[in-house]
Structure 1
Amino acid sequence: MDPVIAGPPDADRELPAAVVEIARIHDATPVWRNEAGGITLRGHGVHIKWSPIGGPDLRREQERLIWAAPFTTVPEPLEHRSDGTGEWLVTRTVAGRSAVDPDWTLRASTAVPAIGRGLRELHEALPVDDCPFRWDLDLRLGEIDAGLGHRDPDDWGQEHRHLDFPAARRLLADPPPVDGPVVCHGDACAPNTLLDEDGTPVAHVDLGRLGTGDRWADLAIASLSCTWNYGPGFEELLVESYGVDWDPRRIAYYRLLWDLGP
C-alpha cells in the first residue's frame, strides 16, 4: 500500500491566509501538512490544527479529546474557532515526540515496539462500555455506501487497485468476527504516538475518528504505517509488541475497509 501524503509542510508552498494569521497570533510555525490540506502549527506551549472547508471536522476531534482525557494522555483542547475558509483547534502541547521524529526513524527497532505497546495501553485505558462514539463496521460500511469513501481505485493502496469498487465492496460484505471490542484510536498511524526520550509511549494525538470498534481496525493500519515510515520488515513486530498473533484475514479486511472508507 502506498503511504498517505502527509509530512512536514513544503517551505516553497504558499500557506492559506488564515494559517498565516493564526501563526501570527500564536507566534507559531507550521510543522505538518496532511493529505486533506490541513496544517498543524506549533507555538509556545500550544499546537494549532487548521482544517480547510471539507477537511477533517475539528469540533468532532475536540469532543473526543475531552471524553478521553480522564483515562489517558491526550492534548487538552483550549479553543475552537472557524471562518469562511476552515476551522482551527488550539490544544495544549503534551510531552513527547512523534514516533516519526527523525531520531526515531533511525531507531525503528525501538520505536515500533513502543507504538505497539502504546496502542495496547490506549485500548486498555479507554472504557469501551462508556464510549459515546462509534467506529464499528456498521458505521463505516454505512459511510461507504452513502458515498462518503474513496470509490476510485487510484486512491487505494497498490494491492487493491486490481479491484473495482463493486468487487471491493463485495469483499467487505464478509467481515471476520469481531476480536476484542475496544475504543479504537481511528488513525493509529505511527506519527500519532508520542514517545519520551527513552522510547516509552506517553500520549496519542489526532483522535478525530476515535470510537468503538474491533482492535484489528487499529492494528491493521498501525502495522501498515510502519512500512511507510520505517521501511519493510516491521509490521509483525508491531503486532507482536501489542501482544497478539498476526491475523492475515483481519489485517487484509481492515486495510481494504480503510482504503474504501472516508
Structure 2
Amino acid sequence: MIAGPPEGPLVLPDAVRQLAGDDDARPVWHNEAGGTTFEVDGAGGHRFIKWSPTGSGIDLSAEVQRLRWAARYTPVPRLLDSGHHSDGQWMLTQALPGSNAVVPRWIADPQAAVAGLGRGLRELHDALPVAACPFDWGAEKRVEDAKRRSGQLHPGQWPAEFADLTVEQALRRVADPPPLDRLVVCHGDACAPNTLLNDDGSLAGHVDLGSLGIADRWADLAVVTWSTEWNYGADWTDALLDAYGVQRDQARIDYYRLLWNLGP
C-alpha cells in the first residue's frame, strides 16, 4: 500500500474533530486506502489520531490489541482512546519523544539514521517475548492470505525487481519459505517512517504496529533494508545489517521482499 504525507487538503472527519477538541488536527500521513494520521498539539497535549474510513480494509482494532500487548515490553505509543461508528474507526495515542527517521534532520544524515534503524530493530526483536506473543505473522499464514487475495494483486504496480513475474509465478516462489533463522516478534511494517529516533540516534520507539507478530527476523530485516532505498535514495543494506548485528542473507532478503510485495 502506498503511503506518505498528504499532497493536498483533506476533509477532517467528525470523529477526529471531536477527539482533537479545541486543538488543531493536522494531517501528516495518508495511504491510498483513505487511512489518515493526524497530529494534534495544544492544551490537550501532543498526540496522534489514526482514522480509517469504513471500506478502507484497514482494521485499527488489530493495532489497538498489539499496542496494548507490546507496551509492556518496549516503547510504543500509549493508547488513550479508540472506537468506531458507521463512518470508520479511530485510535488516539500519546506522542512519543523523538522524530521519525525520515524528517529532514535524518534525511541529511542517512548513515546515522540507518545505524539507528538497525539498532532500534534489534532492540525491538530482543525485547518482545516470543513465548508470550499471541499474534502470528509467519510466512505460511501470509502466503495463504496472498492466495486468497490473488485476484486483487496487480503485477503492473510491482517494483522493478518483481515486474517480470505473474501473480501465479510469485505465489509459487513464496510457497516454500526458507528455513527459519531466528524466530522473533516482528514489527510487521519495519521501515524508516515507523521508527522514532532521539537526537543522538538512539531508539525513541516504534509506531504503526498493526501487523506485529511472530515470524523469522528476516521478514522485518528484508523490509527495513529496502526502506533505506525508498527513503534515503541509496542501498544501505549492509550498514543497517551491521548495526543490527547480522550478516547479509540475500536469499532470505529476496524471499521476504517478494512476500511483502504480495501484501504485508
**TM-score between both structures, scaled by the size of structure 2:** 0.92
| 27-36 vs 106-115, which moves further | 27-36
Cα deviation, 1:38-75, whole Å, max 9, x if unaligned, reads: 11111132111111223321111010000011100000
Matches of 1:50 and 1:26, distance apart in 2:
18
Q: Structure 2: any 5+ residue segments left out of the alignment?
A: none
Q: Which amino acid aligns with 2:233?
A: G
Instruction: Report the Cα distance in structure 1 between the residues aligned to 2:97 and 2:22, rounded to whole angstroms.
Output: 19
CA contact (8 A) 2:100 2:197 kept: yes
Could you tell me which runs of 5 or more consecutive residues in structure 1 were left unpaired when the two chains were aligned: none
* Distance in 2 of aligned mates of 1:192 and 1:14: 22
2:255 to 220, 228, 253: 253
Deviation, structure 1 residue 22: 4.6
Contact 1:26–1:43 (CA<8 Å) still a contact in 2?
A: no
Deviation at 1:8, TM superposition (A): 1.7
User: Offset of 1:148 from its aligned partner?
Assistant: 6.8
The answer to whether 1:33 aligns with 2:34 is no
Residue number in structure 2 paired with 1:131: 133
Q: Partners in 2 of 1:73 and 1:24 — Cα distance?
A: 24
Number of residue equivalences: 258
How much has 1:34 moved relative to structure 2?
Answer: 2.4
SS of equivalent to 1:253: helix
| CA apart distance, 1:103 | 1.0
**Cα distance in 2 between the residues matched to 1:188 and 1:254:** 12
Task: Show the counterpart of 1:171.
Answer: 173
Corresponding residue number in structure 1 for 2:17:
21
Give the percent of matched residue pairs that are identical in Structure 1 and Structure 2: 49
Q: 1:75 to 1:185 in 2, by over 3 A?
A: same
- Give the Cα–Cα distance (whole angstroms) in 2 for the partners of residues 155 and 85 of structure 1: 29
Aligned to 1:102: 104
Aligned pair in 2 of structure 1 residues 55, 102: CA closer, same or farther (>3 Å)? farther
User: Paired residue for 2:39?
Assistant: 42
Q: 1:5 aligns with which of 2, 24, 28?
A: 2
The alpha-carbon deviation at position 237 of structure 1 amounts to 1.1
Q: Which moved more, 1:173-182 or 1:30-39?
A: 30-39
Please name the residue that 2:87 is paired with.
85
Query: 2:47, 2:139 → 1: CA distance?
Result: 35
Cα distance change, pair 206–20 in 1 and its aligned pair in 2 (3 A): closer
Alignment of 1:232 with 2:237, yes or no, is: no
Cα distance in 2 for residues equivalent to 1:22 and 1:35? 24
